[in-house]
Amino acid sequence: MSILQNLRYYLSNLPGWRTDKKIVIFESDDWGSIRMSSKDAFSKLVKAGIPIKDNPYCKYDALESNSDLEALFGVLSQFKDRNGNHPVFTGVNVVANPDFDRIKASDFQEYFFEPFSETTKRYPYHNRVHQLWREGAEKRLFVPQFHGREHLNTQRWLRDLQSGNADTRLAFDLGLWGIYSPLIKSDYQAAFDLEFPSDLDFQHTVISEGVDLFIQLMGYQPTFFVPTNGPFNLALESTLKDKGIKYIMLDKLQKEPLGNGKYKTHLRYLGRKNKLGQIYMSRNAGFEPSQFPGKDNINLCLHSIETMFKLRKPATISTHRVNYIGWLDQSNRDSTLSQLDLLLKQILLRWPDVEFMTTDQLGDLISSKH
């Protein structure tokens, strides 16, 4: 980072809750969602001229396989902090995907979804993914929290399907939606980016149904929420509160979508409470080798951790699912896991008093000090 970027980074993390504990948290988004449905789908999209060839999310990211989760757990289980706790991923998970067959049968007039556990049945090496989610939580290696019902702005997507958008329809026929092209003007991945004020009631329903499905699939109540891709209208916080969500991760400078292209900016910092008593969380480090293959991801992450500890802040590391997916390209997963292994060794070597936590545990700690 440049001197100016370093200064902005430092200043943006000054406000908010502090601790003398050396806490490290890994937050990992997108688990449970379809991204690229197969290698064949990727090839067909590229051949059709869709500009995704160099997009890491389109090249590498996909519904996690059995071996993807097993390999990640294998690395995490090798390490323990001074309290005997393994490094643990807070899995920021969605719990559903579109039911493509039913949507098509309705001539794109209605939206239908299915639990992610049903989606896995149509994939070749994914029959134990739901079981592995639960095992990860029991072993404190991978503890899912709530990212939304699906990683999809369903109303926006359905409108484009109804209008016959050629690229959207092509992706639909290949069992996915997460592409970018000149014909697609909006971000389908941002589930809560309010396109029109009239979509807000539907988004309340998405949250309510999503939390209920999460509890059904996981057997416990989620307490932490991260809106997919960031945008989020604050009127939805009341539904999150009603559904048991205590902690919310929003950007430090949050642009709240109001609909019709209007936004309102809010300042967030770690530990700040909203009017409902929910606590805002934040991220202050990154470990994203798939997105930045040419960078020294290990030392950049260690530098961020060191800076946070100097500021008496917990280090919350953003590390998306795409880094750990090898189903489409195993070298992608293998490369990240070897770097994760080195990162964890260095963390424990430099800070032997480090404590690994999940985000909800940090939220509980902050809440107890308020």
Higher pLDDT, 7 or 272: 272
Reply yes or no on whether the pLDDT at 370 is more than 70.
no
Q: Are 81 and 356 in contact (CB under 8 A)?
A: yes
Answer whether residue 325 is part of any domain: yes
Residue 119 in tokens: 């989606």
Per the listing, tokens 């003007």 go with 185
- 216-265 pLDDT, tens per residue? 999 999 999 999 999 999 999 999 999 999 999 999 999 999 999 999 99
Mean pLDDT of the chain: 96
**pLDDT at residue number 12:** 86
**What CATH number is given to the structural domain containing 52?**
3.20.20.370
Answer whether residue 15 is part of any domain: no
Q: Are 297 and 338 in contact (CB under 8 A)?
A: no
Cα–Cα distance, 268 to 249 (Å, whole number): 9
Answer whether residue 8 is part of any domain: no
Answer whether residue 5 is part of any domain: no
Answer whether residue 142 is part of any domain: yes
Instruction: List the end-to-end C-alpha distance of the chain, in Å, as a whole number.
Output: 34
Answer whether residue 4 is part of any domain: no
**pLDDT at residue number 8:** 84
Counted domains in the chain = 1
**pLDDT at residue number 141:** 98
* pLDDT cut 70: percent of the chain above it: 99
- 317-331 pLDDT, tens per residue? 999 999 999 999 999
Determine the average pLDDT of the residues in 266-273: 96
- 128-180 pLDDT, tens per residue? 999 999 999 999 999 999 999 999 999 999 999 999 999 999 999 999 999 99
Cβ atoms < 10 Å from Cβ of 348? 18
Cα–Cα distance, 354 to 25 (Å, whole number): 10
Answer whether residue 281 is part of any domain: yes
- 52-74 pLDDT, tens per residue? 999 999 999 999 999 999 999 99
Answer whether residue 14 is part of any domain: no
- 337-354 pLDDT, tens per residue? 999 999 999 999 999 999
**pLDDT at residue number 3:** 73
* pLDDT cut 90: percent of the chain above it: 95
Handedness of CA 264, 265, 269, 272 (dihedral sign): negative
Reply yes or no on whether the pLDDT at 1 is more than 70.
no
- The domain in which residue 74 lies consists of 21-369
